[in-house]
Structure 1
Amino acid sequence: MASPTFHAPATTVRVAATGLSARAHTARTLPVFVLSALLATGQMYTPIPLFSAMRAEWSAGSAAMTWIISAFAFGYAGGFVLFGPLSDRFGHRRVLLTGMLVAAVVTLLTGLAFDVPVAIGLRIAQGLVVGSIPPAIMAYVATRIEPAHRAVVTMSVATSFLAATVIAQIVSQTVAAAFPWRTVFLGSAVLFAALAFALRAVMLDDAPTGADKPLRHSYAAIPAILRIRPLLPMLAAGALSMAVMVGVYTGIELTGLVKGSSELLTLRAGALPVMVALPLLAVPLSRLSLHGQIMLGVVIAAAAMVVATFEGAHLAVLTVLLAVLVGGLGTIAPAVLQSAGRFGGESRAAATSVAMFSFYVGATAGPIVASAAAPHGFSVLAWTLALLLVAALVLTFVGIRLRRGVE
C-alpha cells in the first residue's frame, strides 16, 4: 500500500536551515524519554487503585471517583492542543523542561487536595500542564533522533504512554499498600522534578525557531491538520482505542470482578510482557502500511474483548485476554502518531498534539462508558467496548477509501 501523497511540506529544507543536523545520542536519550512518558501519562491511572481509600476519606461515591480520571484526561487533551504548537514555536527542550517542573508543583498540590471538588479542579490543571510533555517529546524524536533509530524510539515512547496504563496502577497499588494514598502523588511530584534535570542533561539545545512570528501562526497548523480528511478517521479510531483501554481497567475496578490486591496485581501485571515486546515488533510492523497496522491492532483487540464477554470471570483467562487487548491497542497508537507526524510537515508537534488530543478525548469517555456499563456486569462492559472497537475498524476502512480518493 503506497504512502500518502498529500503530506504537508517536508522538513528537510528547514532542517538544513536551522542547524538540526546535530543528532541526539539515542542510548542516553531514550531511557529518560521512556521514564518521562511513563510518569506523565501514568498520572491519569494512578488514582484507580486508590478509589477505595479516596472514597473513604472523602465520603464520595463511585461516580465521583470516575471523574477523578476523566478530569485529568480532559485537561491532558487540552494541554496537547495548547502546548504542542508552542513547542514548535519556542523549542521542544524549553517547553518540555518547563512542563516537567510545573507538573511537579501541580502534582504536589493535587496530593494535598482535601475534598472531591478541589481534587477534580486540580486534576484538570494537572492534566493541562502534563499535556505539554508528550508532544514535545514526540516532536524532538521526529527531528533530533537518528532517522535509522526513529521507528524504534517512536514505538518505545508510544508504548510507554500505553504501558503507563498498567505500570502506574501497579506502582500506585504497591505504594498505597504500605503508605497513605497521598504518597503516590507526592512521590510523582519528586520524580517530575528529578526527570526535568535528567532531560536537561541529555537533550540538545533548541535550534532557532519561529518565535518572531505572530502567536497565531503557531496555532494555524491545527485547523490545517484537521482539514486532512484521510487523517480524521484514523484520529477517531485512536480515540476509540483509548476509550477501551481506560474503560476496561476502570470497569474491572467498578464491577468488583476481581477481589483482593494480589489478584488485581496479577491482572495488571499480565500485560507487561506484551508491552515490553511491542518495541521489538516495530521493524516487522513497519512492513505494513499505517492503515494496515491500525486494522491489525483493532481486530486483535476486538477479538480479545469478544472472548472476554464469555470467559471474563476466570482470572487466568482474563489476564491473558487483557494482555492480548493491550497488544492490539499498542499497535494502533504508534501508527496514528506516525501518520500525524508525517502529515504535519514542519508542524510536527502541532500534528502530534492533535493526534494525542484525540486519544485523550477518548480516554475522557472511557471511565464514563465504564460507569454506565459496569452496573450491568462485566459481560455488558466487554460487549460495549468490543462495539467501540468495531466502530474503530469501520473508521479505518473509511480512512483508506478517503486516502485513495485523493491520491
Structure 2
Amino acid sequence: MPATRPKILDRAPLSITFFVVLALVVLSQLYGALVLGPASALDLGADPGTSELVQSLFGVAYAIGFLVWGPAVDRYGATRCFLIGLTVLLAATVFVACAPSMSWLLGGRIVQGAAAASFAPSVFAYFGARLPTAVRLIAVTVLTSSFLAAAVLAQVLAQLVVLAGSWRWFFILSAITLTLGLVLAMRGLRPTPGSAETGQNATRILAGLLGRLRIVLLLIATLAILGPFIALYAALGHTGHYPDSELLMLRLSALPALIWAGAASPWLTRIRPSTRMITAFTGAALASTLLVITGHSVLGAGFGMLLLATCVSVLAPATIQTLTGMSPEHYGSVTALYTFALFLGASLAALPIPVLATLAQVSTTGLVQVTALIAIPIFLLALTFTIFGSRTPQQPQ
C-alpha cells in the first residue's frame, strides 16, 4: 500500500506556528476595534456613540457563533469547518475594508464575528485529532496565549495604522494575511472525521453539558477572564490623559506576560488546572487592587496591567483544560461553550466605559481606577465559582 503523501503542515511545530499566526489575525478583528471604532466613526461621519458598536457587535456575533460552530465541528470535522469559516471571514473582511457607511460597516462586522467563531473550535478539535496528548497540551496553551497576545498587538497595530493613514488599511492587511492563510490551509491540512450522530444531537449535547453544575460554575467564572482585562484597556484609551507614545507603551506593557505564558507552558501544564485557576483569579484581584492604588501614573498602570495579563494568561488555558477534561467526548461542544463565555465577557466589557468615563471626571486618570475597583469583586466572585466548581461532585447524566 503506498505511503500517504506528507502535507505541508503535518509537522507539529509548523502546524502550531501556522495556527498561532492566524489566531493573531483572527482575534485582532475583535480587539483592533477598540482603536478603530472611533476612527471609522469619524471618517464615515457617524455618531461617535456608534464607535463602541464596531467592537461589541462583532464580539456578540463572535460569541454566539461558537454555539453553532462547536456542534458543527463535532459533526462535519474540524478541517471542513475551518476552511468554510476562514473563507467567509476573508470575504467579510474585504467588505468591511470597503464599507461606504457606518451601517454597512456594522453589518459586515456582524458577519465577520460569526465567521471568526469557527476558528477556535476547529483548531482545538484539529489539535485533539492530530497531535499527541503531551504536545496537544502545550499547543493549546500556546494558542490560547496568542488569543490574549492579540488583545495587545491588535491595539498597537490599529493605533499605528490610524496614525499613519486610514483605518481601512487595518482590514486590508488582515485580508491579505487571511488569503495567504487560506491557501496554505487548503494545501497543508489533513481532513478530520466528524460524527453525524453527534451533530444530530447537538442541542441535546449542549443542554446536557449545561445541566452539569461544575461546568456551569466554571463557565460563569470564564466570563471574568477577559472581561475586566478588556475593560481596563478600553478605559486607558478613554481617559484622554496619555499622549500617543505613552498609550502605545501602556498597550504593550502586558505583552511580556503573554509571551511568558507560552514559553512557560511545559512547566505550567504540570500544575493541576484548577489550582492554576484559583491562584490566577486571586492574583487578578490583587493586580486590580494595585491598579486602584497606583493607576494614576503611567508606571503604576503599566505594572498593574503586566500583573493582570500574567494572571489572565494562566487562566485561559487552565480553564479550557479543566472544562474539556470534564467531557472529552464532546470536545467541540465544550470548547464552544467555553469560547462563548470567554468572548461574551470580552465583547460586553467595553460598553459601560463611556458611562464610567462620565462618572469618573473627578480626575483625568480616575476612569482606570474606577474600572479596576469594579474588577476586584468580579474576580473574587469568579474565584468563588471556581472553588465550588472544582469541588462540587459531578452531576449524574
Same structural fold, with TM-score higher than 0.5 when normalized by the shorter chain: yes
2:292 alignment partner, one of 306, 309, 317 = 309
- Give the conservation status (yes or no) of the 8 Å contact 2:56–2:347: yes
- 1: CA distance, partners of 2:192 / 2:292: 50
Q: What is aligned with 2:144? A: 158
Q: Could you tell me which residue of structure 2 aligns to residue 131 of structure 1?
A: 117
Instruction: Identify the residue that residue 12 of structure 2 maps to in structure 1.
Output: 26
Paired residues in the alignment total 381
- Equivalent residue in structure 1 for 2:373, among 362, 383, 405: 383
TM-score, normalised to structure 1, is 0.88
Equivalent residue in structure 2 for 1:290, among 273, 276, 297:
273
Q: Which amino acid in structure 2 is aligned with residue 231 of structure 1?
A: I
The aligned amino acid for 1:246 is I
Matched, 1:372 2:362: no
- Contact persistence 1:88–1:349 (CA under 8 A): yes
> Does residue 245 in structure 1 map to residue 250 in structure 2?
no
1:236 aligns with 2:226: no
- Separation in 2 of the partners of 1:308 and 1:197? 44
Alignment pair present for 1:350 and 2:333: yes
Amino acid at match of 2:33: P
C-alpha spacing 1:197/1:229, structure 2 compared with 1 (3 Å): same
Match of 2:312 in 1: 329
Picking from 343, 367, 380, the partner of 1:360 is: 343
Once the two structures are superposed, residues 3-53 of structure 1 have per-residue CA deviations (whole angstroms, 9 ceiling, x without a partner) of xxxxxxxxxxxxxxxxxxxx9421110111101211111111112222442
DSSP 3-state at the match of 2:351: helix
Specify the alignment match of 1:300 in structure 2: 283
- Residue by residue over 1:64-91, the C-alpha shift from the partner in whole angstroms, topping out at 9 and shown as x without a partner, is 2122111111000111111111111111
- Please give the TM-score of this superposition, normalised by the length of structure 2: 0.90
Distance 1:144 1:59 in 2: 49
Return closer, same or farther for 1:268/1:222 CA change in 2, 3 Å cut-off.
same
Question: How much does 1:170 deviate?
Answer: 1.3
- Look up the SS of the partner of 1:113 in the other structure: coil
**1-side partners of 2:61 and 2:55: how far apart?**
10
Check conservation: 2:74, 2:199, Cα contact below 8 A. no
Deviation at 1:384, TM superposition (A): 1.1
CA distance in 2, matches of 1:215, 1:278: 34
Q: Which of 198, 201, 225 pairs up with 1:217?
A: 201
SS in 1 for 2:213: coil
Structure-1 residue corresponding to 2:240: 256
For 1:114 and 1:311, the matched residues in 2 are separated by 43
RMSD of aligned residue pairs (Cα, Å): 2.0
Deviation for aligned residue 1:305? 1.2
In 2: Cα distance, 1:88 partner to 1:116 partner: 36
1:272 aligned residue: 255
Once residues 62 and 403 of structure 1 are traced to their aligned partners in structure 2, the CA distance between those partners, rounded to angstroms, is 49
1:9 corresponding residue in structure 2: none
- Alpha-carbon distance, 1:374 to partner: 2.7
Structure 1 residues 288, 190: CA separation in 2 closer, same or farther (over 3 Å shift)?
Answer: same
Distance in 2, Cα, partners of 1:287 & 1:190:
39
Q: For residue 341 of structure 1, what is the aligned residue in structure 2?
A: 324
The corresponding residue for 2:163 is 177
Distance of aligned partners of 1:344 and 1:263 in 2 relative to their CA distance in 1, 3 Å threshold = same
Give the gaps of 5 or more residues in structure 2. 1-8, 361-365
Distance 2:395 2:339 in 1: 26
Distance in 1 between residues matched to 2:12 and 2:57, nearest whole Å = 34
Q: Give runs of ≥4 in structure 1 deviating > 4 Å.
A: none
Contact 1:304 1:325 in 2 (8 A): yes
Cα pair distance change 1:95/1:405, threshold 3 Å: closer
Partners of 1:114 and 1:222 in 2: CA distance = 39
Q: Deviation of residue 277 (structure 1)?
A: 0.8
Instruction: Quickly say closer, same or farther: Cα 1:404–1:131, change in 2 above 3 A.
Output: closer
Residue aligning to 1:38: 24
Aligned to 2:129: 143
User: How far is the alpha carbon of 1:328 from its aligned partner?
Assistant: 0.4
Structure 1 residue 214, shift from structure 2 partner: 8.3
CA distance in 1, matches of 2:112, 2:145: 22
8 Å contact kept, 1:87–1:136: yes
Question: Contact 1:28–1:202 at 8 Å: present in 2 too?
Answer: no
Contact 2:63 2:341 in 1 (8 A): yes
Secondary structure of the structure 1 residue equivalent to 2:270: coil
- C-alpha contact 1:24 1:145 (8 A) present in aligned 2: no
Q: What SS class does the counterpart of residue 114 from structure 1 fall into?
A: coil
Within the candidate set 164, 174, 179, 1:193 is matched to: 179
How far apart are residue 136 of structure 1 and its match? 0.4
Letter in 2 for 1:352: T
Tell me the CA shift for residue 404 of structure 1: 7.5
Unaligned 5+ residue runs, structure 1?
1-22
Deviation at residue 61 of structure 1 after TM alignment: 4.7
Indicate the larger mover: 147-156 or 44-53: 44-53
Q: Give CA deviations for 1:276-333 in whole Å, capped at 9, x if unaligned.
A: 1102222332333222111111112221111111211211221121111111011111
Describe the SS at the equivalent of 1:368: coil
2:3 aligns with: none
